[in-house]
Structure 1
Amino acid sequence: MRLKSYKSFIFLFLLILTKILVFCYFTRLISGLIESTIEEKLVKPTLTKPPRKKISELVTVLIREFEQHENDITLTSHSFVNLFATMELFIIYDELPYPPPDIMLNNNTSPNIKFVKLSPELRTNFADSYPISKIRTKYVLIVPDSTRLTSRQSLQTMVQKLSSNPGSIVVTVVNNHKNNLSCLRMNINLREWTLKYDLIKSMICDGVSGKHVMLLETETLKKVSNAFLLPFPHSLYLQTASLDLKVNIIKGLSFHEGKPLFRSHHAQWKQKQTEALRIKKLYNIFKIKQVKRETGLTEWYGCSKETSRCFGTVLDSMPSYLYDKRWTPPCCISNLRKTAKHVFGILEESGIRYWLEAGSLLGAMRSGDILPWDHDVDIGFIREDLNRCEWLKKAKSRSVVDTKGFLWEKATEGNFYRVHFSKTNKIHVNLFPFYSKNGTMARDSWYTTHKNMEFPENFLHPMSSIDFVGRNVPSPNNIRDFLELKFGKGSIEIPEYPDPSKLKFP
């Protein structure tokens, strides 16, 4: 009996001990899990999405496109501030609008509206007058004068479009009964100083014409050389197109025309004159001399008979524009063609034996025209014929302007002659006198700017001819041999600048 009782005791003891061990194990396990969970929460906090930013925290509004003498910037500004009370709005100007608009006089009522003057002033540092440095948002909405926004959703739509196409520009029309946007392709050739517009049927462009608003990233404004040049936004599209940034047009948004501006004939005339002056200044800044409009019209913004030529002194036959990686300005090439044709006509009327020389003959062989980087035209003639031409004869003793306004004179750096486009514009044709000496056509006296001028006389017996600047002119025979004698083997096929050691052909 006692043995049985003892066995029961042992069994009960072992059972209780087992339960205690199991309880301790599970207690320890649960405790570990709890500590692990707490540690995990401390080390890896719960990830939550950042709060969505308001439109007013993403976008700054800029007004640049307005006139001093007549504008609607007060109501335009309030149109945006009334919908987005905390949105910052910058009004950018060159000179103080006068009379000052109401919004400037009562600026305390709209603290988020700020005026930024671009033109430099004493005691104003660059950072304080540079609008982009003041922008704290990711996007910038640029609004033309007399525009109204009637729906928040329109701006949200533009932001969504730009966020899905970063690095681009989003635009939409300012609606009125006659306003439409034209999509333009802009071909800028800096080397040739030219700009060509083409009208295209697309929603993706290099630039647009017509009244519109644009949304772009603040970083895009930082990429261009001068974001707020006038006329605006034309100046900005020139710069963004050169960086290959595209414009996306979207339709159906709630931007509308505000107060009608420039209703009188005088105001319209004044506005047209102002725009023309701004365009001329803009193209001068960016060194654009020839513009081909989408209408087919060609506009010139370079030199003329009444102005100086587009480049300065030429050193060692190298004009300065070559170092700027440009070729001869197209206006200079055009004026040089006119001068050359005029000189050809005078020489033929006078009975002077002449021929195309040096780099001009090289250009004629390559393309029938002046070399695209050349700054003059070279002509050789027989010295004994000089007195047959009244203008050359007069030029021996003094400069003389002929009946067409071209200036004839003897060169100061050698015994040869020049015919300039005009007394003011010194783009010119060189006339080199040669004479026969022991079977060689020798140059008359010395030249410091032209080398390798002499050649065997048989190249002129008989003479040949070649097309040049749109007409047929005399030339030496065996032109290839003549040019390779002067410039080396393969000179026709392999183009070189006057001094290839200084600049390589691009």
Structure 2
Amino acid sequence: MRLSRCQCILIFAVLFNAFILCCLVFLQLRLENVNEEDVMVNVKSRKQSPIKVAGHAMSSSISDRVTVVIREFEDFENHIVETVKSILHLYELMRIVIVVDKAPYPPLTLPEDGDINVVSLKTSLDKHPNASCPEQFIDTEFVLFLPDGAILTSPKQVEKVLSAFHSQHRDVHMVAAKVGGEMTSQCFNMDVNLKQWTLTYQQGGTVQDICHGLDGSHIVLMRTGDFRSLSRPYQRPFPQSLFIQTALQRWKVAQVPTSAILAKKLFTDPHNQWKHQTRHDIRLKAMYEEFGIKKVSMSDGRVEWHGCRKETPRCFGTVVDDTPEYLYENRWTPPCCLQALQETGKHVFLILEKCGARYWLEGGSLLGAARHADIIPWDYDIDLGIYKDDIDKCPPLNMLHQGSHTDSGGFVWEKATEGEFYRIQYSAQNHLHVDIWPFHPQNGVMTRGLWTQTHRQDIDFPEHFLVPLRTMKFLGMQVSVPNDVKGFLELKFGKGVIENPQYPQPNRVQI
């Protein structure tokens, strides 16, 4: 078919327009790719260009290396918005993570133009578990903790802290700078002994010293990897919980001087101050319970107890095979329980001494007296022997044929349900106790007649160990013991028992 001249011109025009359109599309795509490459080059250049700070070359900008975390604040009164704005004013690309126990009420009115994430640790059935994981938003080398109300006014304040981090001793895993100028920082050390359930504060030195923790308000910088390695990184109150966990790792914090970091005042209203203090005390108690700390000794000599008391149950349940549950957790008897045993023991000794009964330390209690004049650190009761004929001399014991009774000190005296012996409990609620085992002589041998065979020391023994009795220091007082303590103990437990401590079931749990 022959095409007319007009048809040829029309086809050529259509093809030419299509060609032009394809060229324009190609050029537009090429231009977009060039712009994207330029952006990537600029970002790469920004990340690789070194920044000189106090003599140290930083391999990237502050925003690329640091994530700001805000943890400790009250929802009913705070200055979080002002703190966030001060950060974004200096570092508009800085990622900020605000970690909360639950969504704050009233809600925070945060800037919309920043990289800000509010993460609630409270899980929700209708949300993915990752929604309550702050770690997903922290991928930088360092994390910087800011207290509520801290106002950054100069980039040098953060840069000085980051620069100082690299010049510290290897034991220093945190660097801090003071916030506000009204209070003086106190540097303190801590001994965290989980085996003994104790936390002991010791006064540090000047604020320039390297120590385990700081009182007062500070910004604190540490490596993200170190922070993530902690078992309870976001535990409140913060940073007290942080310092306890890092002290357990033998990590230290160094405070560095920097230009004054301003602090907005909080809780000037008496009611809000009371409300904040009440919540802080509740969080502190919950933290000690979470960490398994029962006794806190302050540097000024004060002692705080966070374990069992006379009006509460003891810290552990029924003991099976002479091995309390805490031994399986690599812990010893909680100090509050040892304190209760000591009080109960002294109370019973005084009564037995007053009524003239012939009694003596038995079993593990005698072992503790022989080793260090106290209860074995992992023991859970006190054992005594008594001449059966002397029971009638002591009214608290003689009265037990009528049933159990509570004396004026709140101690409960009763006949044990699991055998022919007597038990004195710390209180009706707290069953830490002293056991008194009656013995009678038979042909020169001390016997109970019927043995339960649940303890290694449940055997007959020659009466000559008790004739005469002598005394030994135990719980700060002189108490009756056999006249040959070493021979008595080795008869019951075996050679070298004093010198070689073991748990009750060494084949299961070892020291």
Question: TM-score, structure 1 length as denominator?
Answer: 0.86
Counterpart check, 1:268 vs 2:273: yes
Question: Residues 161-176 of structure 1: matches in 2 within 5 Å?
Answer: 161-165=164-168, 168-176=173-181
2:213 matched to which residue of 1? 207
Which of 485, 497, 503 is residue 497 of structure 1 equivalent to? Answer: 503
Q: CA deviation at 1:294?
A: 2.1
SS of residue paired to 1:89: strand
2:77 matched to which residue of 1? 70
Counterpart check, 1:153 vs 2:153: no
1:257 matched to which residue of 2? 263
Distance 1:250 1:335 in 2: 45
Distance 1:267 1:299 in 2: 25
Which of 459, 470, 480 is residue 464 of structure 1 equivalent to? Answer: 470
1:125 matched to which residue of 2? 128
Which of 55, 61, 72 is residue 54 of structure 1 equivalent to? Answer: 61
Q: Which moved more, 1:368-377 or 1:178-187?
A: 178-187
The answer to whether the 8 Å contact 2:88/2:114 transfers is no
The answer to whether the 8 Å contact 2:410/2:427 transfers is yes
Cα deviation, 1:70-128, whole Å, max 9, x if unaligned, reads 1111111111011111111111111222222322xxx5x23412211012221233322
Question: Residues 227-306 of structure 1: matches in 2 within 5 Å?
Answer: 227-258=233-264, 260-306=265-311
1:341 matched to which residue of 2? 346
Counterpart check, 1:355 vs 2:360: yes
In structure 2, runs of 5+ residues without a counterpart are 1-44, 51-59
Counterpart check, 1:79 vs 2:79: no
1:477 matched to which residue of 2? 483
Percent identical among aligned pairs is 43
* Aligned AA (1:197): Y
* Aligned AA (2:135): I
2:24 matched to which residue of 1? none
Distance 1:125 1:334 in 2: 46
Counterpart check, 1:429 vs 2:427: no
Distance 2:259 2:198 in 1: 35
Distance 1:140 1:413 in 2: 58
The answer to whether the 8 Å contact 2:98/2:119 transfers is yes
* Aligned AA (2:96): L
Cα deviation, 1:418-437, whole Å, max 9, x if unaligned, reads 11100111111010000111
1:23 matched to which residue of 2? none
Q: CA deviation at 1:134?
A: 1.6
SS of residue paired to 1:82: helix
The answer to whether the 8 Å contact 2:189/2:204 transfers is yes
Q: CA deviation at 1:447?
A: 2.3
Cα deviation, 1:405-428, whole Å, max 9, x if unaligned, reads 111122222111111100111111
Distance 1:300 1:448 in 2: 37
Question: TM-score, structure 2 length as denominator?
Answer: 0.85
1:4 matched to which residue of 2? none
Q: CA deviation at 1:164?
A: 4.0
SS of residue paired to 2:220: strand
The answer to whether the 8 Å contact 1:435/1:442 transfers is yes
SS of residue paired to 1:244: coil
Which of 180, 187, 199 is residue 183 of structure 1 equivalent to? Answer: 187
Distance 2:249 2:127 in 1: 31
Cα deviation, 1:317-373, whole Å, max 9, x if unaligned, reads 111111111111111111100000111122223332211111111111111111111
Distance 2:188 2:236 in 1: 19
The answer to whether the 8 Å contact 1:132/1:218 transfers is no
Counterpart check, 1:100 vs 2:107: yes
* Aligned AA (1:343): V
Distance 2:433 2:129 in 1: 44
* Aligned AA (1:458): H
SS of residue paired to 1:168: strand
Distance 1:297 1:309 in 2: 23
Counterpart check, 1:114 vs 2:117: yes
Q: CA deviation at 1:462?
A: 1.1
* Aligned AA (1:246): K
SS of residue paired to 1:431: strand
Distance 1:386 1:216 in 2: 65
Pair 1:299–1:115, CA change in 2 (3 A): same
Q: CA deviation at 1:252?
A: 2.4
The answer to whether the 8 Å contact 2:93/2:114 transfers is no
Distance 1:62 1:255 in 2: 17
The answer to whether the 8 Å contact 2:160/2:258 transfers is no
Cα deviation, 1:182-240, whole Å, max 9, x if unaligned, reads 11111111111111111111521111111111111111111100111100010011111
SS of residue paired to 1:340: helix
1:322 matched to which residue of 2? 327
* Aligned AA (1:346): I
Q: Which has the larger radius of gyration?
A: 1
* Aligned AA (2:438): P
* Aligned AA (2:305): W
The answer to whether the 8 Å contact 2:456/2:493 transfers is no
1:415 matched to which residue of 2? 420
* Aligned AA (1:236): L
The answer to whether the 8 Å contact 1:172/1:253 transfers is no
Q: Which moved more, 1:216-225 or 1:341-350?
A: 341-350
Distance 1:285 1:223 in 2: 17
* Aligned AA (1:100): P
